[in-house]
Chains A and B, each alone.
Chain A
C-alpha cells in the first residue's frame, strides 16, 4: 500500500463512451500527477496539479480532461478515445514542497488498465 488508490483497476470502453478515472491520496500531499504508461516506453507525464492548480499539461489531447477538486482527489475524464489510448494510467502524488515536478519522491497508485475498443 502506497497511500494512493485508483479506481477502477480495469476499464474497457468504446470510442464513443465517456468514463472517468479516480485517484485518491491519503498522504497529505499537495501535488498530484497523471501518467500514461505504454508497454516498453518511458512513462509519459500528462498533467500535474499543485494545491489544486494545474501546473503542467504536456500537450495532451483534449479528449483527456483532468479535474482536481482538492489536494486529495484527482480525476481524469475520458471521452471519444482512440484505440491507441489503451494503456496503464497511473496517478501519483508528492509532497509538493517546491514547484512540481521536483525532487520530491512520487508515490504511485496501482494504475487503471484502460482498453479502448
Chain B
C-alpha cells in the first residue's frame, strides 16, 4: 500500500534553513513528488514539484536522491511567516492516485 510519511511537527528559528523530509518507499518510476503549504483558514498552496535530483525555485528547493524513496523540502532563511503545515504528495502515474502525507506543522520562532 503506497504511503507518504513525514514528521508531525518541527521547530526552527528565523534566518535558519529548514529541511523537511518525506518518505515514499513505494514510489514508482513515473511518479512525481509535490509539496504544498497550508496556512490556517486557507487551502493548500503549491510550493514545488520534482521527479529526480534537485529542483529550485524562488521559495524552496527539493532534493530527491537517486532511489527516490524520500524527498527533502528545503526552505532557506525562514521567517515567521513560514509557520504553516507542509504536505508531501506523490502522484502515482500508474493509477492516477494522489498519496498525500499527513502534513508537517512547522513553527518558526523569533
Contact = CB atoms under 8 A, between A and B. Distances in A.
Given A43-B87, A45-B98, A110 B103 contact: no
Interface of A: 2, 4, 40-43, 45, 56, 90-92, 99-103, 105-111
B102 A41 contact: yes
B100 A42 contact: yes
A41 B42 CA distance: 16
A54 B66 CA distance: 36
Chain A interface, >50% SS class: loop
Contacts of B32: 103
Interface string B85-97: 0010001000011
9 contacts: A40-B103, A42-B102, A90-B43, A91-B43, A101-B97, A103-B32, A103-B34, A107-B46, A111-B41
Interface string B1-40: 0001000100000000000000000000000101000000
Contact of A108 (B8, B43, B98, B100): B43
Interface of B: 4, 8, 32, 34, 41-46, 49, 87, 91, 96-103
B102 to A, nearest CB: 5
A110 B91 contact: no
A110 B45 CA distance: 10
A86 B8 CA distance: 22
Contact of B91 (A103, A107, A111): A103
Contacts of A102: 91, 96
A40 B43 contact: no
